[in-house]
């Protein structure tokens, strides 16, 4: 098919979750609240880990990076959605849409890789406790994080470069609250075969690969826990990875659910609402999941909040 002039595209239009005018204030309030909770909760996790020397371990190092990625992940979509509702303008520029897709894919894949690395960390801690500090040394942790960033960046760059070669039809309405990669691809008038091949390859390699790695890690973890004789020992071993397992289950179950629902139904509004689960709800719940069952995080958070409360009166006195 003949390719058009991509530079002629000025704006896409994000239709959002609902087009009902009376629902816009409610949607704005709900998403603003969830965004603020997400940023505040994950920021507190980062501050707690960085300020407490007892938390300077591989597990919490990766947890603080996961919190940072979750803040960036939600920040790629929600602020623009809130702006569009506030200004009653659904437009997003072509460049803005491409940029949003780039960072959305980057942080989505990075989320998956960090969760996989955290599963490996729990595997080493439970299955090889005597060699944990030797295996999970600072150099390896840095390399695992750097490798995750490198692969995520390469994937996002590749998929967006392939989008840039496409021409688009006159209908530029995206039935979503952000520039979803699949929705944008559906608007293309030129041949998307190469894009589809790369897209499904990425799903298999960078989605299925880490998922299999996580399953393998936890199969070994379960085997090691079952071999522990005392019930207290089993509980202690399982409690160290319960939070991570909850986050992994929440992220992957909601992501898989969204893509299955997309394949089974053509209701764009339902797909957009379902996407909220892994794009907004999961990053918002992560800090609660990790802090509610973790005594070390609770102690560090109390110290951070206590320091903030103490510095407040001191700052006012000096002022």
Give tens-digit pLDDT for 122-151.
Answer: 999 999 999 999 999 999 999 999 999 999
All structural domains of the chain: 14-302 (1.20.1070.10)
pLDDT at 40: 95
Tell me the whole-structure pTM to 2 decimals. Answer: 0.89
Sign of CA dihedral 38, 39, 40, 45: positive
Query: Residue 199 phi/psi, 5° resolution?
Result: -60, -50
Bridge partners of 159, per DSSP, are: none
* C-alpha–C-alpha distance, residues 240 and 219, integer Å: 15
Confidence check: pLDDT of 300 > 90: no
Confidence check: pLDDT of 236 > 80: no
Task: Considering only residues 59 and 234, tell me which one the structure prediction assigns the higher pLDDT.
Answer: 59
* C-alpha–C-alpha distance, residues 17 and 85, integer Å: 11
pLDDT at 310: 64
* C-alpha–C-alpha distance, residues 16 and 9, integer Å: 20
Q: For residues 300-314, give the mean pLDDT.
A: 70
pLDDT at 4: 42
- What six digits make up the tokens of 142? 């840095």
Structure-derived torsion over alpha carbons of residues 169, 175, 177, 178, reported in degrees to the nearest 10: -30
Give tens-digit pLDDT for 3-14.
Answer: 444 445 778 999
pLDDT at 73: 96
Which is nearest to 276 in space by CA: 84, 13, 17, 12?
17
- Average pLDDT along the chain: 86
Neighbour-count burial for 44-66, b at 16+ CB within 10 Å, e otherwise:
bbbbbbeebeebebbbbbbbbbb
pLDDT band, very low/low/confident/very high, at 2 (cuts 50, 70, 90) = very low
- What six digits make up the tokens of 315? 């700052």
């Amino acid at each position: 098919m003949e390719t058009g002039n991509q530079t002629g595209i000025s704006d896409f239009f994000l239709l959002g979750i609902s087009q009902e005018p009376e629902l816009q204030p409610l949607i704005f309030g709900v998403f603003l609240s969830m965004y603020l909770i997400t940023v505040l909760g994950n920021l507190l996790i980062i501050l707690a880990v960085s300020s407490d020397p007892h938390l300077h371990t591989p597990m919490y190092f990766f947890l603080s990076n996961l919190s940072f990625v979750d803040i960036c992940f939600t920040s790629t979509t929600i602020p623009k959605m809130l702006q569009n509702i506030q200004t009653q303008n659904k437009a997003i520029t072509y460049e803005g849409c491409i940029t949003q897709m780039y960072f959305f894919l980057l942080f989505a894949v990075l989320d998956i890789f960090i969760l996989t690395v955290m599963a490996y960390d729990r595997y080493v801690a439970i299955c090889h406790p005597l060699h944990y500090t030797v295996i999970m040394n600072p150099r390896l942790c840095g390399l695992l994080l750097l490798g995750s960033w490198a692969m995520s960046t390469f994937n996002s760059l590749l998929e967006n470069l392939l989008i840039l070669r496409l021409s688009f039809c006159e209908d530029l309405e995206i039935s979503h609250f952000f520039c979803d990669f699949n929705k944008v691809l559906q608007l293309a008038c030129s041949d998307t075969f190469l894009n589809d091949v790369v897209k499904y390859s990425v799903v298999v390699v960078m989605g299925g690969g880490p998922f299999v790695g996580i399953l393998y890690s936890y199969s070994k973890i379960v085997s090691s826990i079952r071999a522990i004789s005392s019930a207290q020992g089993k509980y202690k071993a399982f409690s160290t990875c319960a939070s991570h397992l909850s986050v992994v289950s929440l992220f992957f179950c909601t992501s898989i659910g969204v893509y299955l629902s997309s394949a089974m139904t053509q209701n764009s509004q339902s797909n957009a609402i379902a996407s909220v689960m892994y794009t907004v709800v999961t990053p918002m719940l992560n800090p609660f999941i990790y802090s509610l069952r973790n005594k070390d995080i609770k102690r560090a958070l109390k110290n951070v909040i206590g320091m903030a409360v103490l510095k407040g009166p001191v700052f006012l006195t000096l002022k």
